[in-house]
Structure 1
Amino acid sequence: MTHEDVQVVAACDVDRNHRMRAKRIIDTHYGTADCAVYNDFREVLARDDIDMVLIATPDHWHALLAIETARAGKDMYCEKPISLTIAEGRAVVEAMKRYRRVYQSGTQRRSIGCFRFAVDVARNGMIGRLHTLHTYLSEGPSCGVEAPRPVPEGFDYDMWLGPAPYEPYTPKRCHGTFRWILDYSGGKLTDIGAHFNDLAQWGNNSDLGGPIHYEGHAEFPREGLWNTPMHYRVEATYSDGVKLIYHDTSPRAAKFEGDEGWIMVDDDGNVDAEPKSILRTKRIVKQSYAYWQGHHRDFLDCVKRRDPKTIAAPEIAQRSTTTCHIGNLCLRLDRPLRWDLDKERFVDDEVANTMLARAMRAPWRL
């Protein structure tokens, strides 16, 4: 809404309280009462006067909504991660090509100067040849057993579940805490890893590729509703021997290590490096991850130019999110995995290959 060349005309949410709050914010901004509200996304996509859609749902809806939006002839800014599974992500990439749509993944750190500075230092050889990339994603939470509760009035819980398996309602299953349940997300690896593994891939000049070998270990909740990793370490190796290591520690950050130095940036926008002379090569404006303007602007400009090459285009999002998904599969299976980048399949591991996609609850399908 802060961009003068865009007008928000509708809000859609399966929670009445959320969509009415969105309407109040939008109407207050424009000084009108014109914002339409919807419970069902299909009514939004049916409108001919809507050009672009912002998708900010739980992860298990991302791919399905992106593909339906493309079919409806609309461009989209979609929150990360691109998908719940690797197969879904590939389907999104192909749909954007087929329908010639502009897609921006919500990995906004790509458009924030201090994060880009660290990436540029790594990409341009200022710390020598890279040998190790570190991403610090913080530890995952746990909770106890949650008893089923009545669905709140005004909350379309069946639509919220959508393609996910049916489970009884409890508040900690939905809204912000869906991230800690594997039916809907991938925990810290896809929540924060979608950002920092993306930066690591970019800094390594491999954002259209990825590692080919993964190994790691994790501690999962022993009981309760949430079931994503709490404590974990994943080590992924690229074909040239560069390693990408995911840590469960804070602050959330990315660090690039080369044979002539290192550089690190955290989520508050703090940048440190060795040698310190690197920090004097450019004035660094400290901005936290919450600065969105540049990322939105890049998307809007690409829409106007009909340019699919946004700074976080679908193929880039697919490859970086794949590192997160494989990390989770490696931890869940508790064994090393080898990955074929071209075929997007595991090597000599048919059990792991069965986990590349998931069945969807009827009537939903890609």
Structure 2
Amino acid sequence: VNYGRGFDVVEDTDPPQGVDYNRWLGPAPERPFNKNRFHGSFRYFWDYAGGLMTDWGVHMLDMVLLGMNATAPKSVVAIGGKIAFPDNAAETPDTLTTVYDFGNFSLIWEQFMGMGTSPYLDESGEPGVAFIGENGILAINRASWKVLPLQHDGKYLTEVLPPRKSRVSGLDAHTANFLECIKNRKDPNCTIEMGRNAALVAHLGNIAYRTGKKLQWNDMEGIVSNASEANAYIKPNYRSPWQLWEG
């Protein structure tokens, strides 16, 4: 389980020939070029991304939100750090546990030594989501799903189902649906709102980690209600002349 295992600290250099580094930085703070902060390891630095919490979070969390018919948590708390690879160049944590309270259910995000496989779906080779219920566990990712029934008095509490694999390429189907919706003007299978909700949950996990506090989220106002310092992470400070358009 070493997705994002890390990379050694290296000295700054000139940007590669043909790269407009100022434009690549965009609204991010001006810094000397360093290959660790460039493609594709930029995701492990706070100036540009949110590490594995956002990188993989948006691929997993939308399944939770869709399955539970949820949008935003009431509160979130996180603990973790650079534990597996403390000496690598990354700023974001390789190990992180984040707990979200949605009122009628709890969501627990776990990444350890980076992120490579799921304890429930390890044969598929990628992380996944587990819906843990009273009678069993539904484990699912972008390629497969299976039911793990619980037992009581020697009997399964729900039907035993074999693992099922997707019969189509999820990426191909996703792309085709998006292009079709451009033509017919209908909402795609994954809506803009769902993308926002998944990104929100991922970002809140990082904000809780960076502040070290349990955060209360007011989704109507779009703010953290109990820790003013957390709200500084909601909107980045844009480097001039870049500005965030507000329509």
| Same fold at TM > 0.5 | yes
Residue aligning to 1:346: 224
CA-to-partner distance for each residue in 1:177-219, whole Å, 9 max, x for gaps? Answer: 111111111011101111111111111111xx22111112011
Partners of 1:151 and 1:169 lie apart in 2 by: 6
Sort the Cα spacing of 1:331 and 1:140 in 2 relative to 1 into closer, same or farther, 3 A. farther
| Greater share of residues in helix | 1
Residue aligning to 2:21: 157
- Which structure 2 segments of 5+ residues have no match? 119-126, 150-155
Structure 2 residue corresponding to 1:305, chosen from 161, 169, 184: 184
Task: Give the 4+ runs in structure 1 shifted more than 6 A.
Answer: none
Partners of 1:225 and 1:202 lie apart in 2 by: 35
Structure 2 residue corresponding to 1:258, chosen from 133, 151, 161: 133
Partners of 2:98 and 2:164 lie apart in 1 by: 31
CA-to-partner distance for each residue in 1:227-270, whole Å, 9 max, x for gaps? Answer: 01111101101122x00000114331100011222110245535
8 Å Cα contact 1:140-1:228 kept in structure 2: no
TM-score (norm 2): 0.82
RMSD of Structure 2 on Structure 1 (CA): 2.4
Residue aligning to 2:124: none
8 Å Cα contact 2:63-2:129 kept in structure 1: yes
Residue aligning to 2:78: 216
Residue aligning to 2:148: 273
Sort the Cα spacing of 1:341 and 1:138 in 2 relative to 1 into closer, same or farther, 3 A. farther
Q: How does 1:9-28 map to 2 (within 5 A)?
A: none
- Which structure 1 segments of 5+ residues have no match? 1-136
Q: How does 1:1-366 map to 2 (within 5 A)?
A: 140-206=4-70, 209-220=71-82, 225-240=89-104, 242-249=105-112, 250-251=117-118, 252-266=127-141, 268-274=143-149, 277=159, 279=161, 284-286=164-166, 291-307=170-186, 309-366=187-244
Residue aligning to 1:85: none
| Aligned-pair CA distance for 1:291 | 3.5
Partners of 1:213 and 1:357 lie apart in 2 by: 19
The aligned amino acid for 1:299 is F
Indicate the SS of the match to 2:161.
helix
Sort the Cα spacing of 1:150 and 1:246 in 2 relative to 1 into closer, same or farther, 3 A. same
TM-score (norm 1): 0.56
Indicate the SS of the match to 2:233.
coil
Paired positions, count: 223
